[in-house]
Amino acid sequence: MLQVRSILDGEALFSDRSVVFWLLAALGELTGDVIVGNKLAACLFGALTAVGGALAGWRWTGSLAGGIACGVWWAASPLHLGISAEFLKNSGGVAVLALLIAALAGRSRRALIAAVGLALLGPLVHKLTGVLGLILLAGRLLATRTSPRLLLAAAGLGALVVLSVGLLRPADLTRLIGAEDGAERTMLLLTGRLIIAEKAELLAAHLAPLLLGLLSRRPALRGLGLAVLPVSLIILAPGLPLGWDETAWRLLLMSFVPVGLVAAALSAHRPLVCAAVVLAGLSGLPSSVDAQRGRSPDYAALSAILPAIQAQVPDGGRLIAHRGLCGFLWAEGGILCENFQPQGTDLSGYWRVVYGFSAARLSGGQRPPVPLLPGYVLLHEPDWQTFASGAGARFSLTHNPRNPHKPRPGFVYGPDEDGAP
């Protein structure tokens, strides 16, 4: 929202060059409301993804049932809904990826040209999904034994586009660095915030590479199946630390793509299997919508606390709050906010919107905490650091994403070119 508003004001706030923001700005200008424009874009991206799924399933399997199964699954998937609700730019990248898969499922020269064009567009929309698209294109060309010259030309053009517009930075590679705690990942997926529908789809996603390998033994399914197979392994994010705002989770949210294609292959020319897939997808939709609604901050209630925050934070001060809330406070309150642990020794200019602790629990610092809403308290950052490193160290909430405790990674865009907050 901040990036879109800044573009409409004449100068982009962040150095992120994704073309998604220009589309969002156009929709915001057209509707007169950036929030409405963003919601329309989320619907548009979701619809394009579902259409891509229907075309991919139908073309790949040669069966209408396969197309219906994939299209409905991609539309109703709880993981797809998670992307649309939480990561709008990712959602735009997934829409391009879906249309690319649909093009790759075709066998004509026109489909191949469309696929190359979409693969080159992908990195301009979203780097992560764009790279996956280039991998898909290369895999499809290899699987169908297309001329090596064409493969090299497509790969070279893709690399040229990515590098020429400066989309890939050295800092972007750091998102792939980190050690995963397997036990922690398992506990997070099994006992975390996920609902049953999300857990079930993630289980299916971990089986999808094996099923794609088996299904690709059929000559008719080999081309696209072998192309999707490496992507289905990559999006499981093996070895990457998992967190609800980490790269690994954003990859896992794309697991609905191979799951839907497996559903298409299993449903091909089997109306009963197709009906079961459609029923499973639609039956889980209400709970998925409710879950996403529950994860969103109550912005109407939060609007009422803006005067209290503005009264406490002086001009030039900065806020720290969890993602979603942070952007809202910055956009509506006019106070620069970040959802990462501030770095440096002078924290006097920072205030934090703390989640999950009462004002009484946080009292005892140099400045009194300010109650905002049930579960939210405004606290001077030096007092929070004292609390978190002392008595608060025994509380898991002090190391919860809703109380930002990690420094901003280099691959996360800041308000200027060098990424400084």
Q: Where are the alpha helices (DSSP H) in 216-324?
A: 222-234, 247-252, 256-267, 271-283, 285-295, 299-303, 306-312
- CA proximity to 49, closest of 221, 253, 197, 223: 253
| pLDDT for residue 162 | 52
**Quick one: pLDDT band at residue 400, thresholds 50, 70, 90?**
confident
| pLDDT for residue 55 | 95
| pLDDT for residue 421 | 31
In this structure, of 208-222, 331-345, 354-368, the range with the lowest mean pLDDT score is 331-345
Tell me how far CA of residue 271 lies from CA of 24, 65, 69, in angstroms. 39, 6, 10
374-388 mean pLDDT: 89
The answer to whether residues 122 and 97 touch, using CB atoms and an 8 Å cutoff, is yes
**Using one digit for the tens of pLDDT, what is the confidence trace for 198-251?**
999 999 999 999 999 999 888 888 888 888 998 999 898 887 777 777 788 889
Q: Where are the alpha helices (DSSP H) in 32-87?
A: 34-61, 64-76, 78-86
**Using one digit for the tens of pLDDT, what is the confidence trace for 244-259?**
777 888 899 999 999 9
Of 137-146, 269-278, 306-315, which one has max mean pLDDT? Answer: 269-278
| Cα–Cα distance, 69 to 277 (Å, whole number) | 6
| pLDDT for residue 279 | 94
| Entry pTM | 0.79
**Is 318's pLDDT higher than 70?**
yes
| pLDDT for residue 412 | 60
Q: What's the CA dihedral at 273, 274, 279, 281 to 10 degrees?
A: 110
**Using one digit for the tens of pLDDT, what is the confidence trace for 257-307?**
999 999 999 999 999 999 999 999 999 889 888 888 877 777 777 788 888
| pLDDT for residue 419 | 36
| pLDDT for residue 140 | 82
Residue by residue, DSSP assigns 79-147 as: HHHHHHHH-HHHHHHHHHHHHHHHHHT--SHHHHHHHHHHHHHHHHH-HHHHHHHHHHHHHHHHHTT--
How many CB atoms within 10 Å of residue 261?
Answer: 31
| pLDDT for residue 273 | 94
Q: Which residues, including other chains, have CB under 8 Å from residue 37's CB and lie 6 or more apart?
A: 4, 24, 25, 26, 27, 28, 29, 30, 31
**Is 166's pLDDT higher than 70?**
no
145-171 mean pLDDT: 55
| pLDDT for residue 414 | 54
Angle between helices 88-104 and 34-61 (to 10 degrees): 20
